[in-house]
Amino acid sequence: MENAKFLFKSLYNNDAVIQGRKKPWYFAAVLFVLGVFLTWIPFLSSGYTSNNSALLTSTSNQEIDKGFKATFNEAYFDGLTFKKDDKGMYLDMDKTVLDANSLITTEEAVKNSLYTNEYNGTGTTALAKCTFVDTTSGSTGDYAGQVFFDTGAIKNPTNTATEFYFDCISVPKSGEIENGTSSSSTSSSTSVVYEDNGNTIYLEAFYFPTLDTRNTVDSNIRSNFISSVILKADAKNALGAFPHSFAIYTKDSLYVATYALKSSKSNSAKGTYSGYFFDADSNFSGKTFKASLLGNEGKNNITDQYAVFASFLNGAATAIVHRNVWINIGILSAVVAGSVLVGAVILIIMHKRKTSVYRDTNFFECLKESGTLSFSPCLIAMIIGFLSSSYAIMAVIGCILLRVIWMMNKICPPVTQENKPVYKARS
| pLDDT over 90 (residue 216) | no
- How does the average pLDDT of the chain come out, rounded? 79
Q: Residue 288, SS3? A: strand
CB-based contacts of 90-98 (< 8 A; 24+ apart in sequence): 90/212, 90/251, 90/252, 90/277, 90/278, 91/249, 91/250, 91/251, 91/252, 91/277, 91/289, 92/251, 93/165, 93/207, 93/209, 93/249, 93/251, 95/209, 98/127, 98/129, 98/165, 98/207, 98/209
| pLDDT over 90 (residue 81) | yes
pLDDT single digits (tens) 139-169: 333 333 445 433 333 444 455 678 889 898 8
User: What is the model's pLDDT at position 248?
Assistant: 97
Q: Calculate what percentage of the chain has a pLDDT beyond 90.
A: 23
Q: Calculate what percentage of the chain has a pLDDT beyond 70.
A: 79
More confident residue, 236 or 216: 216
Q: What is the average per-residue pLDDT within 280-295?
A: 81
* pLDDT band per the 50, 70, 90 thresholds, residue 174: low
More confident residue, 397 or 4: 397
Q: What is the average per-residue pLDDT within 183-202?
A: 63
User: What is the model's pLDDT at position 206?
Assistant: 94
User: What is the model's pLDDT at position 358?
Assistant: 81
Q: For the whole model, what pTM was predicted?
A: 0.74
- What element of type H or E holds 40? helix 25-49
Nearest to 224 by CA among 139, 138, 157: 138
User: What is the model's pLDDT at position 201?
Assistant: 87
Residues recorded for the chain: 427
- What element of type H or E holds 129? strand 127-134
More confident residue, 9 or 185: 9
More confident residue, 162 or 257: 257
Nearest to 242 by CA among 185, 164, 175: 185
CB of 212 closer than 8 Å to CB of 172: no
pLDDT single digits (tens) 50-72: 787 888 888 888 889 999 998 98
* pLDDT band per the 50, 70, 90 thresholds, residue 225: confident
DSSP string, 236-286: T---SS----EEEE-SSEEEEEE--SS-BS----SEEEEEEGGGS-GGGTT
pLDDT single digits (tens) 29-53: 999 999 999 999 998 888 887 787 8
How far apart are alpha carbons 225 and 246 in whole angstroms?
Answer: 12
* pLDDT band per the 50, 70, 90 thresholds, residue 170: confident
DSSP string, 135-193: --BTTTTB---EEE-BTT--S-TTSEEEEEEEEEEEEETT-EETTEE--------TT--
pLDDT single digits (tens) 378-411: 999 999 988 887 788 888 899 898 988 888 878 8
User: What is the model's pLDDT at position 153?
Assistant: 39
Q: Residue 8, SS3? A: helix
Amino acid at 147: V
User: What is the model's pLDDT at position 359?
Assistant: 86
User: What is the model's pLDDT at position 212?
Assistant: 93
| pLDDT over 60 (residue 215) | yes
The strand pair at 180-181 and 176-177 is best described as antiparallel
* pLDDT band per the 50, 70, 90 thresholds, residue 124: low
How far apart are alpha carbons 404 and 383 in whole angstroms?
Answer: 20
Question: What one-character DSSP code corresponds to residue 105?
Answer: B
CB of 197 closer than 8 Å to CB of 173: no
The number of angstroms, rounded, from the C-alpha of 222 to the middle of its chain's C-alpha atoms is: 16
275 strand-pairing partners: 254
How far apart are alpha carbons 6 and 53 in whole angstroms?
Answer: 47
Cα separations in angstroms, 209 against 76, 99, 219, 265, 288: 13, 12, 14, 29, 15
More confident residue, 19 or 295: 19
CB of 135 closer than 8 Å to CB of 153: no
How far apart are alpha carbons 28 and 371 in whole angstroms?
Answer: 5
